[in-house]
Amino acid sequence: MSPARGPVPSSGWRQSPPPPPPPPPPPPPPPPPSIPPSTWRGYLKVARQAAIYRETRRLTEEDFLRVSREAGTVVLDARSREKFDELHVKGALNLSFPDIAVESLQKALPDKETLILIYCNNNFRGAEGPFPSKLPTASLNLSTFIALYNYGYRNVWELGPVIDVKKSKLPLEPTAKAR
């Protein structure tokens, strides 16, 4: 017997110590945070402010067309990329509503004083594919206006009327790859 290492097997090899126990399993991830009620109150407060502000910011088709031609004006289409590619106002910038966030806005619209024109599905009829109807209270213009207002954009104007795409004075086109 070796005094420092314990018994030596008859073959002359020393036994290895037993392997260490496995590490404990990692703790479970924390539950996702819930949206506190104060966030809803804050959103509703901003939505009310934006609604009041929006009342005088709706344009006729003629005014929308005229203003869209002014230097520095951005026509913003917040529909999905798929619907935008099917048909949109010529020259419009597509920033799908779910993608509206601090970073995407800073990249697409770095100057909060930029004159922004918005339109949505409910502004057009006669093209259900690219412009499917929504309930008026679920109009994308409402959500987009509130979001832009919330991020500090105040030079936002909205197309007001419902326009038949076949009679529209606004130039509409598909994205080149969608043709």
In a domain, 18, yes or no: no
Look-up of token digits 């619209």: 109
In a domain, 52, yes or no: no
Is the pLDDT confidence value at 7 over 90?
Answer: no
Is the pLDDT confidence value at 17 over 70?
Answer: yes
**Residue 132 is part of which domain span?**
71-178
Is the pLDDT confidence value at 35 over 80?
Answer: no
Looking at per-residue pLDDT, the higher value among 160 and 28 belongs to 160
Looking at per-residue pLDDT, the higher value among 41 and 78 belongs to 78
Which secondary-structure segment (H or E) carries 69?
none
In a domain, 27, yes or no: no
In a domain, 3, yes or no: no
Number of domains making up the chain: 1
| pTM (whole model) above 0.85 | no
Tokens of 20: 């260490």
Q: pLDDT tens digits, residue range 61-113?
A: 999 999 999 999 999 999 999 999 999 999 999 999 999 999 999 999 999 99
Q: What is the pLDDT of residue 140?
A: 94
Strand partners, 173: 88
Q: What is the pLDDT of residue 44?
A: 94
> Phi and psi for 124 in degrees, rounded to 5?
-130, 145
> In CATH, what number is assigned to the domain containing residue 122?
3.40.250.10
Assess contact for 153 and 116: CB atoms under 8 A: yes
Is the pLDDT confidence value at 37 over 90?
Answer: no
In a domain, 94, yes or no: yes
In a domain, 98, yes or no: yes
Q: What is the pLDDT of residue 49?
A: 97
Is the pLDDT confidence value at 124 over 80?
Answer: yes
In a domain, 51, yes or no: no
Is the pLDDT confidence value at 43 over 60?
Answer: yes
Tokens of 58: 């709706």
Mean pLDDT computed over every residue of the chain: 90
In a domain, 172, yes or no: yes
